[in-house]
């Protein structure tokens, strides 16, 4: 095949989950990254950012629309499309996670528990819009980045199989929208996204040249969460012409304020941080006010204020940080010695609590004004403009002013879900996990509006 990956070969016939894995094993090694099937493709480059410009008139939207939601989770796509088209009807949803399926049925009345690798395509109703968000762990920086070598990475071809079946029956979905992690675009030097784009183009879908990289904060939702969005429209005669997407004027992080979604009257005791965390905050706040630096451009590591440890084998960047900690200690020795003794830093603090990162510049003057994260790398202090991305690891940030974690309702707001979204009778941990795995509804909504404006 001379390195060619044809859509027919990629989709094949419906196989078991494990056969699917074997079919795509080593798929990335079957092309050279610049030619696929004799076609010369663009070299990988920086993902396209939406072009800022004044927002235009309200989009033209259909009065009725049918859609399916693949890898549906807790229904971010459902929320978005029904916000735009209230009469939109979901005719099929699929997710392999039992807990997510329970929440989906509770909120939308639809049974979504389904393994796409085992579904017969003729059992899926015809539809106008196909939304899909394949598992991202195969491409995420937080995962092993095995891409198509991992079973989860091949599930995109199940989507192709469904689309191909509808097209062959003369019922192609007019619109598609895929969401995934930003790293999908650069994974395997751009080869992964080229395979996906080539597959969609062979099916007859026009797309942008590369996915749009968008974050909730650009639309006034105070969360920094860059994700790749790939919209498409069925237009087989013009697949060679990229779709032009102008997302309008996008906001910066500094245009946001985390307290826009905070309920300061929420005093739920379960949200309060531990006494030892409050003690850690108070200790480092005293430290910050007393030292001779107001902008700390390196992580503070108390263990290296005065250490006789051998650092010769450390990388240069780490050696540089250690030397800066030593200099900081020398200039502030009297205070730091008294401070460490007062707070029992070297006897009662954990190694993690002995680390401190100031990422606020001169924007705030006290840790109580900040957004705080307790991480393995230490206590990180950030300007309270945007929250870090909610992730499935449930590492929720702390509001320094209130000395509590974000509530579930506030995390719902960061993902643009309604306050009264129903998680049913499950653990709070599972609720945060499902939100962390979901998609910001507002971003989906804005991209979908632009896609629905497109005419062919």
**Residues designated as active site:** 136
302-336 b/e (C-beta count within 10 Å ≥ 16 → b): bebbeeeeeeeeeeeeeeebbebbeebbeebeeeb
d(CA 354, CA 280): 9
Most distant pair of Cα atoms in the chain: their distance: 80
Reference 220, options 256, 170, 184; nearest CA is 256
d(CA 76, CA 72): 8
Evaluate the CA torsion angle 293, 297, 302, 304 in order and state its sign: negative
The backbone torsions φ and ψ at residue 413, rounded to the nearest 5 degrees and listed phi first, read: -65, -35
The backbone torsions φ and ψ at residue 326, rounded to the nearest 5 degrees and listed phi first, read: -65, -40
Residue pair 148/154 in contact (Cβ under 8 Å)? The answer is yes
427 burial type by CB count under 10 A (0-12 exposed, 13-18 middle, 19+ buried): exposed
Pinpoint the alpha helices (H) of 372-420. Answer: 408-414
Reference 101, options 117, 114, 82, 118; nearest CA is 114
d(CA 380, CA 411): 19
d(CA 396, CA 411): 9
> Three-class SS of residue 433?
helix
Contacts of 34 (CB under 8 A, 6+ apart): 40, 41, 43
> Three-class SS of residue 336?
helix
d(CA 406, CA 409): 8
CA contacts within 13 A on the Cβ side of 104: 28
d(CA 430, CA 103): 11
């Amino acid at each position: 095949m001379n390195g060619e990956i044809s859509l027919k070969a990629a989709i094949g016939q419906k196989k078991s989950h494990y056969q699917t894995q074997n079919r795509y094993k080593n798929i990335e090694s079957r092309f050279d990254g610049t030619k696929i099937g004799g076609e010369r493709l663009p070299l990988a480059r920086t993902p396209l950012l939406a072009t800022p410009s004044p927002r235009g008139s309200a989009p033209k939207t259909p009065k009725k629309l049918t859609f399916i939601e693949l890898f549906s989770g807790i229904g971010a796509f459902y929320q978005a499309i029904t916000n735009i088209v209230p009469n939109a009807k979901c005719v099929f949803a699929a997710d392999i996670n039992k807990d997510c399926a329970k929440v989906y049925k509770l909120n939308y009345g639809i049974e979504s528990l389904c393994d796409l690798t085992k579904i017969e395509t003729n059992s899926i109703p015809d539809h106008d819009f196909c939304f899909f968000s394949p598992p991202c762990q195969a491409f995420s920086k937080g995962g092993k980045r095995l891409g198509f070598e991992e079973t989860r990475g091949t599930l995109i071809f199940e989507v192709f199989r469904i689309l191909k079946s509808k097209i062959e029956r003369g019922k192609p979905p007019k619109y598609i929208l895929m969401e995934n992690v930003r790293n999908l675009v650069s994974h395997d030097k751009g080869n992964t996204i080229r395979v996906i784009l080539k597959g969609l183009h062979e099916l007859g879908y026009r797309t942008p040249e590369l996915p749009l990289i968008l974050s909730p904060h650009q639309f006034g939702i105070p969360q920094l969460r860059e994700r790749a969005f790939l919209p498409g429209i069925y237009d087989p005669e013009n697949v060679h012409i990229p779709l032009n997407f102008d997302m309008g004027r996008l906001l910066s992080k500094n245009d946001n304020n985390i307290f826009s979604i905070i309920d300061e009257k929420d005093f739920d005791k379960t949200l309060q941080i531990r006494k030892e965390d409050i003690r850690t905050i108070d200790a480092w706040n005293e430290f910050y006010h007393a030292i001779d630096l107001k902008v700390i451009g390196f992580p503070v590591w108390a263990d290296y204020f005065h250490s006789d440890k051998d650092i010769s084998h450390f990388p240069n960047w780490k050696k540089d940080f250690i030397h800066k900690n030593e200099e900081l200690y020398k200039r502030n020795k009297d205070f730091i010695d008294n401070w460490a003794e007062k707070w029992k830093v070297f006897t009662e603090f954990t190694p993690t609590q002995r680390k401190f990162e100031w990422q606020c510049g001169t924007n705030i003057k006290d840790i109580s004004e900040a957004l705080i994260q307790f991480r393995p790398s230490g206590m990180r202090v950030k300007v309270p403009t945007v929250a870090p991305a909610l992730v499935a690891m449930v590492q929720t940030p702390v509001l320094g002013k209130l000395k509590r974690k974000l509530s579930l309702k506030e995390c719902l707001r960061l993902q643009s879900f309604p306050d009264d979204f129903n998680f049913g009778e499950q653990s709070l941990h599972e609720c945060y996990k499902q939100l962390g795995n979901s998609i910001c509804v507002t971003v989906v909504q804005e991209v979908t509006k632009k896609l629905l404006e497109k005419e062919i």
